[in-house]
């Protein structure tokens, strides 16, 4: 047992590929918190995030044999989670177009409404939390992803670039554009006493 916990990620992955049951469990234990953090911030909704996380770990479980060891296991896992989030977002947009009127969707949306509505916190802390999350959902997914990785999770630009498989310059410009888009939504958090008009001098890219 102890041995497994001390092994590096790559060794765990190759043991898993060779059929060692304990190895993958240890990988999950090691990485699930961070993977969760990515998924919940990108998707916003806990149920969606849980689905994405499960998709991702199952994909990793199945694909371990194809891991070539050029990347860090952690980068690889992040990439898988990011892709799983993309798939979720894509499906989320497709779903409402389907006229499934059965109770399932009602139940789901009720659950979701409850989940969002039932967290008021006297300290006002969750207010800000919801505001930031809601603001994040207003910006394009690519920008949101870059900001989640770089600004929220604190990864270096080159790490985020490895995860997203784009050039570091692209990560930077996505972050920059995302911050500019977020600004109008976040202005009140930063300086409650200051009026909103500072954010958008010529009505530029601030969206309603």
Partner 1 sequence: MTSHVDAETLALSLEGLLDDEEEHSVRTHVAGCSQCADIREALGEVSGLLADEPVPPLPDSVSTRLDEAIRAERANPASDGGTPSAAEGDGDGRDGRQDREDGPGGPGGAVDDDTAEELRSRAAEVVPMRRRGVARWMPYIAAAAAAVFVIGGGAALLRGMGDGPGAGDTAQTQDQAPHALKEPAPVLVESGTAYTPEGLEAQAGGVLSLAAPELPPQGAESDEEAPEISALPSPSENPSGVSTCVEGLTGEDERTPLVDVATYTADGGAAEPVWVLYTEDASGAYTVSVVSPECTGGAPADAVLDTAAVPAP
* CA–CA dist 16, 87 (Å, integer): 26
| 4 is a site residue for partner 1 (CB under 8 A) | no
C-alpha 70: how far from its chain's center?
24
Cα(139)–Cα(179) distance, integer angstroms: 9
SS3 17: helix
Applying the rule CB under 8 A, the residues between 32 and 91 that interact with partner 1 are: 32-33, 36-37, 40, 46-47, 50, 53-63, 66-71, 76, 79-81, 83-84, 86-87, 89-91
Give which of 14, 44, 34 is closest to 74, Cα–Cα.
34
Provide, rounded to whole angstroms, the least separation between the CB of residue 135 and partner 1. 9
Site for partner 1 in 152-171 (CB under 8 A): 152, 154, 164-170
Which residue lies nearer to partner 1 by CB, 18 or 198? 198
Residue 204 in the binding site for partner 1 (CB under 8 A): yes
Contact of 164 with 149, CB cutoff 8 Å: yes
Shortest separation between residue 84's beta carbon and partner 1, angstroms: 5
Nearest to 79 by CA among 171, 175, 161, 176: 161
Choose, by CB under 8 A, the member of 5, 107, 113, 156 that binds partner 1.
107
Total count of residues recorded for the chain:
208
**Minimum CB–partner distance for residue 74 and partner 1 (Å):** 12
3-state secondary structure of 205: coil
Instruction: Kindly state whether residue 30 participates in binding partner 1, applying the rule CB under 8 A.
Output: no
How buried is residue 142: exposed, middle or buried, by Cβ count under 10 Å (0-12/13-18/19+)? middle
Residue placing its CB nearer to partner 1 in the complex, 4 or 168: 168
Residue 94 touching partner 1 (CB under 8 A): yes
In the list 5, 121, 138, 176, the residue contacting partner 1 (rule: CB under 8 A) is 176
d(CA 20, CA 37): 27
* Near partner 1 by CB under 8 A: residue from 21, 30, 138, 146: 21
In angstroms, what is the minimal distance from the CB of 6 to partner 1?
21
């Amino acid at each position: 047992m102890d041995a497994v916990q001390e092994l590096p990620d790559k060794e765990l992955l190759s043991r898993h590929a060779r059929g060692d049951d304990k190895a993958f469990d240890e990988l999950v234990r090691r990485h699930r918190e961070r993977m969760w953090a990515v998924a919940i911030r990108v998707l916003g909704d806990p149920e969606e995030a849980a689905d994405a996380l499960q998709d991702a770990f199952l994909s990793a479980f199945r694909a371990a044999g194809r891991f070539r060891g050029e990347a860090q296991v952690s980068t690889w896992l992040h990439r898988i989670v990011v892709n799983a989030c993309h798939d979720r977002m894509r499906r989320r947009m497709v779903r409402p177009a389907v006229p499934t009127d059965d109770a399932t969707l009602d139940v789901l949306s009720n659950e979701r409404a409850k989940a969002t509505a039932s967290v008021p916190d006297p300290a006002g802390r969750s207010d800000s939390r919801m505001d930031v999350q809601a603001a994040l959902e207003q910006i394009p997914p690519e920008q949101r992803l870059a900001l989640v990785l770089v600004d929220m999770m604190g990864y270096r630009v080159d790490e985020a670039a490895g995860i997203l498989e784009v050039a570091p310059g692209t990560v930077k410009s996505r972050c920059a554009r995302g911050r500019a888009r977020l600004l109008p939504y976040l202005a009140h958090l930063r300086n409650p006493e200051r009026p909103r008009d500072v954010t958008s001098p010529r009505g530029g890219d601030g969206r309603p």
